[in-house]
Structure 1
Amino acid sequence: MSDIYHDGSRQLQDEFDTRRLADRLDEAIVQDSILPSDREFIERLDMFFIATVDERGQVNCSYKAGEPGFVRVLDEHTLAFPSYDGNGMYLSMGNILRTRQVGMLFIDFENQKRMRLNGEATLHRDDPLMAEYPEAQFIVRVRAREVFANCPRYIHKMKLVQRSRFVPQQDCPTPVPGWKKGEWVADALPADDPAHDKSREIIDR
């Protein structure tokens, strides 16, 4: 048995008579390692959701995306992904610096499948993987604590139309998001922000 449940979980399990079911699921599907089938699933996806928390218990949830395989499974306990330029707020990454706790949700909408991975994350600015991710600011490594498949019954079936043009590519300048060219933010941009490069393509989305 893992320690995935706390008093709040148990209170609701008892109220709805699901404690036995919850314990059975914990025994049957919750693990602390990434199986080969989990690795195949994770490494073919192009997005995931990540939840983090700060020292005050304030939660943040974010969407991360890249090319298929941008999340790498390094071994049975560890995965890694790049952190690219965003809006400069560093809400998720700042939380990781403080508490290291993350919850990751991987969803394949087309095949209606999902899995969760909870664990402890760290940021690495000189990680060997940096060379493999153009324009990455640093690499996030996650040590898995709980890994488990999730019931897919409520996943809407959707198909990919187009991947974001903002995902960095090797030897291809990344476009500048239109909001960074607004007068309201011009004097607040970092000195090395690509928005200062007048040769960069500007697109709104």
Structure 2
Amino acid sequence: MTDQPDLDQLYAPPSEMIQKAVLDRLVDFHMEYLKVATFFCLATGSERGLDASPRGGPAGFVHVLDPHTVAFADWPGNNRIESLRNLERDERIAMLFLFPGLEIFLRINGRGRVSTAVELLDELRENERRPKTATVVRIDEVLLHCGKAINRAGLWSEGARSERGALPTVGRMMAALARMGDAPTEIGEAQVEEINAHYDHAVRHDLY
């Protein structure tokens, strides 16, 4: 494609109130939302490209250190630790919070660093579990974002739920991956079921 659209012609400018709502620090209503936040998507990048990954925890798992700073623990995932490695190269970071049942998002853009400070890790522990690292975010921008996308997706409606059997299971996908590459391997039906059972248990119980 060679045409470059004139975005200013296509879109009206944001209202004064929307522009005013973009702040460089947390205020009381942001903190109220963070106290109940249980999930956000984390975006990081480096010279190799961009990465987005999910983060979740009990209500308030993202701690407010001061009006300009938040922090959250890193808990076990797939061990790619792509976000942590990206922050070694590029401190830019973005957080998009979803609130189940609510038609609003909270967004934070800022600068992140990985910390192993003992006091911070102790503050972020969950029950007896203490994280190996934490991510500390210095806020550049914080704003609330309208939830039209939620309603376009029907995200919180019962009808939006996917049937578990309607899509390939983890076991089926692993079997397909095993057949790819230079040394294809066949995974039998019994192994597929074992992988599914292991995944179903791990994703619910091996959280820390």
Shared fold by TM > 0.5? yes
Which amino acid letter does the alignment assign opposite residue 158 of structure 1? W
Identity %: 28
Q: Say whether the 8 Å CA contact 2:38–2:99 is kept in structure 1.
A: no
User: What count of residue pairs does the alignment treat as equivalent?
Assistant: 152
In structure 1, stretches of 5+ residues that fail to align are 1-9, 160-177, 179-183, 185-201
- Alignment deviations for residues 137-177 of structure 1 (CA, whole Å, 9 cap, x no partner): 11111000011110112214538xxxxxxxxxxxxxxxxxx
Query: What's 1:45 paired with?
Result: 37
Q: 2:84 aligns with which of 90, 93, 96?
A: 93
| Alpha-carbon distance, 1:30 to partner | 0.8
Residue 126 of structure 1 pairs with residue 117 of structure 2: yes
Residues 1:123 and 1:11: Cα distance change in structure 2 (over 3 Å): farther
Query: What's 1:108 paired with?
Result: 99
Q: Say whether the 8 Å CA contact 1:78–1:142 is kept in structure 2.
A: yes
| Alpha-carbon distance, 1:46 to partner | 1.0
Residue 75 of structure 1 pairs with residue 66 of structure 2: yes
What is the correspondence of 1:152-171 to structure 2 with a 5 Å cutoff? Answer: 152-155=147-150, 156-158=154-156
Whichever structure has more helix as a proportion of its residues is: 2
Q: Say whether the 8 Å CA contact 1:124–1:138 is kept in structure 2.
A: yes
Root-mean-square deviation (Å): 2.4
Quote the Cα distance in structure 2 between the aligned partners of 1:145 and 1:69: 21
Residue 54 of structure 1 pairs with residue 46 of structure 2: yes
Quote the Cα distance in structure 2 between the aligned partners of 1:42 and 1:128: 21
4+ runs of 1 displaced by more than 4 Å?
none
SS in 2 for 1:106: strand
Quote the Cα distance in structure 2 between the aligned partners of 1:103 and 1:151: 17
Q: Say whether the 8 Å CA contact 1:112–1:157 is kept in structure 2.
A: no
Query: What's 1:151 paired with?
Result: 146
Query: What's 1:140 paired with?
Result: 135
| Alpha-carbon distance, 1:93 to partner | 1.2
Which amino acid letter does the alignment assign opposite residue 134 of structure 2? I
Quote the Cα distance in structure 2 between the aligned partners of 1:75 and 1:126: 17
In structure 2, stretches of 5+ residues that fail to align are 158-170, 172-177, 179-199, 204-208
What TM-score results when the alignment is normalised by the length of structure 1? 0.67
Q: Say whether the 8 Å CA contact 2:25–2:141 is kept in structure 1.
A: yes
Residues 1:86 and 1:145: Cα distance change in structure 2 (over 3 Å): same
